[in-house]
Amino acid sequence: MRTFEVHDAAVPEVRQRDEGLRLEGVTVRYGSTTALSGIDLSAPSGEVLAVLGPSGGGKSTLLRTVAGLEGSSRGSVRFGGQDLSGVPVHRRGFGMVFQDGQLFGHRDVAGNVEFGLRMRSVGRRERRREVARLLELVGLAGYQRRKVGELSGGQAQRVALARALAARPRLLLLDEPLSGLDRMLRERLAVDLAELLSDSATTAVVVTHDLDEAFTLADRVAVLSEGRVLQEERPRRLWTRPADEEVAGFLGCTTFLRGRIEDGIASCPLGSVPCPGEHAGEVLLGLRATGVRAHRSGTERNRGARGEVVRRSHRHDHVRLTVAVPELAGVDRLEAVVADTEVPEPGEEVALEIDPAGTALLGR
């Protein structure tokens, strides 16, 4: 992974009044193409902001603009209250870990981590202590003499993070840091990285297309699509109250049903969802596949609508169904899950009911 570090002395006065990152009205254009449009975002000191969105949505451009690798056509990037316009990359005090970067192949693990320490003119004895501390922090205690070529993908990612943290960056920028790893390792490293950022009180911005990664790492999540921020919220609020169908769709909602809220209960043709504190009136519900439970007709759980199984697919912990639902207005088919102890055959009728855990209320 490629990283940018800066000597501590470059920005001492800003460190004293660190207010975090703030983007105001940032627009980036390439000729007639607008890559970012009026971006307003912030990452308070010590917090992690995840920028979530599809490929080509502007995530990497946003990160490069914050780093100073891209210029903005309009708006400002501020850190610690300082406008960074005209401040070069090496004077910003930021660390950046790229998805497609590399470790220094001619150096061992300690040599890679030491790079940031040498930039800070840290003495040899202190470098050894700090390398040991950082490697322990990323779960690689005792790896100092390992060659880069001997590392697994996950270990290399950890070394790259240690190298970036060695420079003590005011802000750590992470571009799809776990995307090249298999799913099991990605999930484990996301938890480790979240703990690492919390323990080191590092302010960070991470861009990713992976929902689980964003929600594991972030204090706040911003959804970015076609160069626009569609919504920014705390993870739980974003998950349960997406702004509109576009955001909800990216967050896994595949079916949308009209309903009504009365006395803190949202009701729709598939059942009801508790929503205490929400005002009465019409509402649009977004249902993920896990938000609809299917049961074989004839069982005791026959509430809600009925449908016919079109196809099924087995997942590691459940079976997912595509169900034709002619009796639901405006919906031809929907996704549902069923326990692997009562899997219906294609063509079989099933009863459907809503599961609040997989349901979102839009525009609330």
> For the chain, how many structural domains are there in total?
2
pLDDT(12) > 50: no
Q: Which residue has the tokens 């003119």?
A: 121
Q: Are 324 and 333 in contact (CB under 8 A)?
A: yes
What is the per-residue pLDDT for 8? 34
Q: Are strands 21-30 and 33-43 parallel, antiparallel or unpaired?
A: antiparallel
The CATH number covering residue 266 comes to: 2.40.50.140
The answer to the question of residue 1 being in a domain is no
Q: What percent of the chain has pLDDT over 90?
A: 69
Question: Same domain for 92 and 201?
Answer: yes
Question: Same domain for 307 and 363?
Answer: yes
Q: Chain-wide mean pLDDT for the chain?
A: 89
Question: Same domain for 232 and 320?
Answer: no
> Token digits for 100?
């497609």
User: Of 213, 137, 194, 164, nearest to 1 (Cα)?
Assistant: 164
Provide the 10 A C-beta neighbour count for residue 313: 10
What is the per-residue pLDDT for 171? 96
Question: Same domain for 231 and 351?
Answer: no
Lowest mean pLDDT among 23-32, 81-90, 115-124: 115-124
Residue 181 or 358, more confident: 358
pLDDT(336) > 80: yes
Q: Residue 161 is part of which domain span? A: 8-240
Question: Same domain for 235 and 250?
Answer: no
The answer to the question of residue 3 being in a domain is no
The answer to the question of residue 272 being in a domain is yes
Q: Which of 240, 269, 288 is the last residue of a domain?
A: 240
Question: Same domain for 215 and 348?
Answer: no
Separation of alpha carbons 159 and 57, rounded Å: 29
Question: Same domain for 132 and 184?
Answer: yes
The CATH number covering residue 55 comes to: 3.40.50.300
Its pTM stands at 0.85
Question: Same domain for 141 and 272?
Answer: no
Residue 316 or 175, more confident: 175
Separation of alpha carbons 71 and 28, rounded Å: 7
Q: Are 319 and 338 in contact (CB under 8 A)?
A: yes
Task: Categorize the per-residue pLDDT at 317 as very low, low, confident or very high, splitting at 50, 70 and 90.
Answer: confident
Q: Which of 209, 224, 240 is the last residue of a domain?
A: 240
Q: Are 342 and 348 in contact (CB under 8 A)?
A: no
pLDDT(60) > 60: yes
Q: Give me the amino acid identity at 102.
A: Q
Task: Categorize the per-residue pLDDT at 181 as very low, low, confident or very high, splitting at 50, 70 and 90.
Answer: confident
pLDDT(217) > 90: yes
User: Of 20, 3, 202, 173, nearest to 90 (Cα)?
Assistant: 3
User: Of 265, 262, 259, 240, nearest to 251 (Cα)?
Assistant: 240
Task: Categorize the per-residue pLDDT at 137 as very low, low, confident or very high, splitting at 50, 70 and 90.
Answer: confident
Question: Same domain for 161 and 35?
Answer: yes
Task: Categorize the per-residue pLDDT at 19 as very low, low, confident or very high, splitting at 50, 70 and 90.
Answer: confident
What is the per-residue pLDDT for 131? 96
Question: Same domain for 152 and 225?
Answer: yes
Q: Name 332's Cβ contacts closer than 8 Å, sequence gap at least 6.
A: 324, 325, 326
Question: 3-class DSSP state for residue 202?
Answer: coil
3-state helix, strand, coil in the chain (%, to 5): 30, 35, 40
pLDDT tens readout for residues 106-133: 999 999 999 888 888 899 999 999 999 9
The answer to the question of residue 2 being in a domain is no
Question: Same domain for 120 and 227?
Answer: yes
Separation of alpha carbons 239 and 236, rounded Å: 5
Q: What percent of the chain has pLDDT over 70?
A: 92
Separation of alpha carbons 238 and 248, rounded Å: 9
Q: Which of 240, 269, 304 is the last residue of a domain?
A: 240
The answer to the question of residue 321 being in a domain is yes
Question: Same domain for 66 and 201?
Answer: yes
- What is the chain's length? 364
What is the per-residue pLDDT for 10? 38
What is the per-residue pLDDT for 9? 33
pLDDT(224) > 50: yes
The answer to the question of residue 160 being in a domain is yes
Separation of alpha carbons 46 and 203, rounded Å: 4
User: Mean pLDDT, to the nearest integer, of 176-199?
Assistant: 85
Task: Categorize the per-residue pLDDT at 360 as very low, low, confident or very high, splitting at 50, 70 and 90.
Answer: very high
